[in-house]
């Protein structure tokens, strides 16, 4: 899942997509290909919890939300709905939210006749732990749409952090990543560079350079992740600004 923004010097040994932007969405509609399966897995990982939280905030029980989220993704797979996604009709996250709303309306009219495990293709979603995660949501009232947007942003950043950690592990720098991660998340005051230098056996200047490179790579991967479902650099920059706004609201 690399783009021109990626650092060519960083080895990429994890499975990556050979295409980016909206092509990753369209690839997920063609499950007869390795790329399509990888794309669907990635999209499910990014969107399953935001959609689960959205369904819960709509008033469904934890059990029903688990059933509905599982069935929603199974239907996307069975009906190849992702192949119908149109980049000219807006952001992919909006497509997913609209698709879920349509699914909820049709599924509820049928009385949720199709439950989890009743013939649906079961996807590897961490639904068992979903409610524990949902319990950590702020107690203040937020609309279902706001919950979805917030969790979309947070899940995207979690995905990026996972990719970044993987890169450092591949380079044999897992300890460096663990030490610098708080600085990446804006917590440098709790771990001054001088302290980190002593901890890592490096000089302070080298630690500052490493932290700068880490932040730069982090921003590149965020842009890379966002670009997977957008068509132009202008859209990517706009989505970057939107991501920041959602996280700070």
Q: What pLDDT was estimated at residue 40? A: 73
Could you tell me how many residues make up the chain? Answer: 249
Q: In this structure, is residue 16 part of a structural domain?
A: no
Coil, helix or strand for 112?
coil
Q: How far is it, in rounded angstroms, from Cα 107 to Cα 103?
A: 6
Specify the number of domains making up the chain: 1
Q: In this structure, is residue 1 part of a structural domain?
A: no
Q: In this structure, is residue 17 part of a structural domain?
A: no
Q: Residue 19 carries which DSSP code? A: S
The model's pLDDT over 131-181, given as tens digits with 9 standing for 90+, comes to: 777 877 765 667 899 999 999 999 999 999 999 999 999 999 999 999 888
Q: In this structure, is residue 4 part of a structural domain?
A: no
CB neighbour class for 94 (10 Å; exposed up to 12, middle 13-18, buried from 19) = exposed
Q: Which residues of the chain have pLDDT under 70?
A: 1-33, 35-36, 79-80, 83-84, 87-90, 108-128, 138-141, 185-191
Q: What pLDDT was estimated at residue 235? A: 84
Domain limits for position 163: 22-248
b/e 189-224 (16+ beta carbons within 10 angstroms → b): eeeebeebbeebebeeeebeebbeebeebbebbbbb
Q: In this structure, is residue 50 part of a structural domain?
A: yes
Q: What pLDDT was estimated at residue 32? A: 64
Q: State if pTM tops 0.75.
A: no
Q: What pLDDT was estimated at residue 6? A: 42
Q: In this structure, is residue 51 part of a structural domain?
A: yes
């Amino acid at each position: 899942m690399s783009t021109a923004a990626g650092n060519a010097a960083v080895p990429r040994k994890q499975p990556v997509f050979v295409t980016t932007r909206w092509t990753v969405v369209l690839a997920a509609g063609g499950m007869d290909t390795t790329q399509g399966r990888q794309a669907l897995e990635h999209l499910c990982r990014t969107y399953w919890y935001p959609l689960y939280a959205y369904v819960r905030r709509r008033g469904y029980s934890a059990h029903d939300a688990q059933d509905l989220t599982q069935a929603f993704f199974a239907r996307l797979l069975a009906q190849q709905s992702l192949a119908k996604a149109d980049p000219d009709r807006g952001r992919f996250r909006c497509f997913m939210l609209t698709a879920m709303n349509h699914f909820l309306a049709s599924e509820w009219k049928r009385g949720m006749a199709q439950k989890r495990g009743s013939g649906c293709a079961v996807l590897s979603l961490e639904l068992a732990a979903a409610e524990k995660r949902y319990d950590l949501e702020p107690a203040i009232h937020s609309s279902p749409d706001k919950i979805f947007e917030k969790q979309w942003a947070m899940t995207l950043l979690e995905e990026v952090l996972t990719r970044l950690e993987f890169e450092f592990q591949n380079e044999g720098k897992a300890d460096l990543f663990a030490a610098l991660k708080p600085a990446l998340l804006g917590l440098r005051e709790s771990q001054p560079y001088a302290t980190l230098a002593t901890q890592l056996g490096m000089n302070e200047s080298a630690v500052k350079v490493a932290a700068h490179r880490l932040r730069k790579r982090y921003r590149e991967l965020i842009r890379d992740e966002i670009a997977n479902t957008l068509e132009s650099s202008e859209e990517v920059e706009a989505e970057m600004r939107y991501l920041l706004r959602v996280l700070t609201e």
